[in-house]
Amino acid sequence: NAGVTQTPKFQVLKTGQSMTLQCAQDMNHNSMYWYRQDPGMGLRLIYYSASEGTTDKGEVPNGYNVSRLNKREFSLRLESAAPSQTSVYFCASSEEDTQYFGPGTRLTVL
């Protein structure tokens, strides 16, 4: 089992560019999450998906969109990247109370 995988691992964008962060899990979990982690801020929830076909906003959804493509995959899209979106992005999946995190994507927006 690979667990939770994320691509890419690193990305540098210019302001205004768009990109999609990919996440996949092979644990057959219903729930999936996208977080961002900034220095001194802990993890903040961007969006989550309780099951295939459903998505809901978290604490900091502005500037992001998500797609729950199927049970395995949950993508995060930045339509017009801004320097404030420079962060480390983690995807996670869970079955009830235990969350499993992917390795993260380090994104820099210039």
Q: Which residues bind another protein (CB under 8 A)?
A: 31, 33, 35, 40-45, 48, 50, 56, 58-59, 90, 94, 96-104
What is the smallest separation between the CB atom of 15 and another protein, expressed in angstroms?
Answer: 26
CB-nearer residue toward another protein: 79 or 95: 95
User: What is the distance between the alpha carbons of residues 62 and 57, in angstroms, rounded to a whole number?
Assistant: 9
Beta carbons within 8 Å of 8's beta carbon, 6+ residues apart: 21, 105
Q: Closer to another protein by CB, 58 or 63: give it.
A: 58
Shortest Cβ 16–another protein spacing (Å):
29
DSSP label at 1? Answer: -
Q: How far is CA 4 from the centre of its chain?
A: 11
